[in-house]
């Protein structure tokens, strides 16, 4: 998700809307709910303000609302609002979520929201796609209340990361036919790699995804940045204590971190 020109930015919203219309199932939603609750087990959501930065299809919005949070979310791709509406039919109709078309890189939004801020700031697999990862992390920190929680998932730096950056750039600047060729070319190798590293089919993803839409995101997700765990922790102020960490399941996967602000 980025404010860069469409010619050099992956269509995240289009992919999520396709997922919401064609691939979502109750089983995927249940699986994603288990992952969300395990990752955020230390957080009491009841009557707490929750911000999802880059809500995508909106699963985290609904999961937090189920736990009693006052939920809002921002995403710069307006198609994701339609994706959230598609998913709403799988949840209690009384749940209230507020998807907003905005960006964590928008200084006007950040300044207007940092006082009082949010009890829980959540961004899973998004900030590394903004085109300015350091600023996105810094702004997320600004929005986290004292005694609040910051939940992040950021791509790991690996020797192959730069290669993937080129592949992703190539995807977004290529015509549709070549995009489909890239997906077909990588389908089997990444399916096998997932079995090797994760130990189960990504079609039953713990985050509620299906393999095809996740594959399209993995190949085309540009802009694309990455950090080692140390590089990431060096960006976090000392008043944020790391209380939960899940290492990447695959070499170029996500660091998953939960911080408590003292």
How is residue 222 written in tokens? Answer: 């540009």
**CB within 8 A of 212, min separation 6: which ones?**
23
- ∠ Cα 111 61 84 (to 5°): 105
pLDDT at 204: 43
* pLDDT of 136 over the 60 cut: yes
Give the model confidence (pLDDT) of 196-209 as tens digits: 666 554 444 556 56
State the pTM of this model.
Answer: 0.91
**Rounded distance between C-alpha atoms, residue 232 and residue 170, angstroms:** 27
DSSP 156: B
CB 143 within 8 A of CB 113: yes
How is residue 121 written in tokens? Answer: 């700031």
* pLDDT of 5 over the 60 cut: no
* pLDDT of 56 over the 80 cut: yes
Give the model confidence (pLDDT) of 73-122 as tens digits: 999 999 999 999 999 999 998 999 989 999 999 999 999 999 999 999 99
* pLDDT of 237 over the 50 cut: yes
Q: Which CATH superfamily is domain 6-157+225-261 in?
A: Vaccinia Virus protein VP39 (3.40.50.150)
Higher-scoring residue by pLDDT: 3, 18:
18
How is residue 101 written in tokens? Answer: 């078309």
**Rounded distance between C-alpha atoms, residue 207 and residue 205, angstroms:** 5
Sign, CA torsion 58/64/226/210: negative
């Amino acid at each position: 998700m980025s404010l860069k020109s469409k010619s050099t930015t992956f269509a995240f919203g289009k992919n999520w809307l396709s997922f919401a219309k064609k691939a979502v199932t109750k089983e995927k939603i249940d699986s994603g709910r288990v992952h969300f609750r395990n990752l955020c087990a230390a957080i009491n959501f009841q009557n707490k303000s929750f911000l999802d930065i880059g809500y995508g299809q909106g699963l985290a919005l609904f999961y937090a609302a189920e736990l009693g949070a006052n939920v809002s979310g921002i995403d710069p791709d307006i198609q994701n609002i339609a994706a959230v509406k598609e998913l709403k039919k799988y949840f209690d109709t009384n749940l209230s979520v507020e998807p907003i078309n905005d960006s964590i890189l928008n200084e006007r939004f950040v300044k207007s929201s940092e006082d009082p801020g949010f009890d829980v700031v959540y961004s899973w697999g998004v900030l590394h796609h903004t085109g300015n990862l350091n600023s996105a992390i810094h702004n997320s920190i600004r929005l986290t209340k004292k005694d609040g929680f910051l939940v992040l998932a950021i791509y790991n730096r690996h020797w192959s990361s730069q290669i993937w950056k080129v592949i992703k750039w190539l995807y977004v600047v290529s015509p549709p036919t070549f995009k489909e060729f890239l997906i077909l070319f990588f389908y089997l190798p990444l399916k096998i790699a997932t079995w090797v590293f994760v130990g189960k089919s990504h079609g039953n993803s713990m985050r509620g995804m299906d393999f095809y839409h996740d594959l399209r995101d993995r190949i085309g997700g540009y802009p694309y940045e990455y950090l080692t765990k140390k590089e990431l922790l060096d960006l976090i102020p000392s008043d944020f204590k790391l209380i939960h960490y899940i290492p990447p399941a695959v070499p170029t996967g996500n660091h998953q971190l939960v911080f408590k602000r003292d």
